[in-house]
Amino acid sequence: MEAFGSMLAALGLAFVFDRLGLPGGAVLGAMVGVAASKIIGVQVFEAPGIVRFLAFATVGWLLGQSFGAETVATLRKAAGPVLLVVLTLGAVTAVLAITMVVLFRLDALTGLLAASPGGLVHIGSITADSGARVDIVILVHLARLAAVVITLPIVARFL
């Protein structure tokens, strides 16, 4: 029964973070709730395989809803700049991943996923399914997200 304490912490903080208007508040709150539970020694409920599958399928479904004919038309018009951005991000990701592998002695997959651009939910889902170190990857992405949330308003004022 103690394992359900982590579920309550996840749901409670997901609700609070979402109501506070934090970017990805529900996801961040749930992660913080479960992480805090583990840190203080509460037994964490392990989701069965079917629950994980349904959660990941739901994330894919929600992401798929954002695409449409307009997205494809926009991509066609901006194919050159999009390709340039993708290649540049690929090169920067490779350099960052190699740096993390060498400096922090991470395995290559963890380094690559930690350095990869992408949303916290998306990268977290891929990481959880890949066997890489979820804690490291999420920590790096949380730091990136925090840096953006903190610096973006300051940069926006100057622009």
Task: Please give the pLDDT value at position 23.
Answer: 76
The residue among 113, 117, 102, 141 whose CA lies nearest residue 23 is 141
Instruction: Output the pLDDT for position 112.
Output: 94
Along the 159 residues of the chain, how does pLDDT read in single tens digits?
566 788 888 899 999 999 998 877 888 888 888 888 888 888 887 778 898 889 888 888 988 898 899 988 998 899 999 999 999 999 999 999 999 999 999 999 999 999 998 887 788 888 888 889 988 998 898 888 888 878 888 888 888
3-state secondary structure 84-135: HHHHHHHHHHHHHHHHHHHHHCCCHHHHHHHHCCCCHHHHHHHHHHHCCCHH
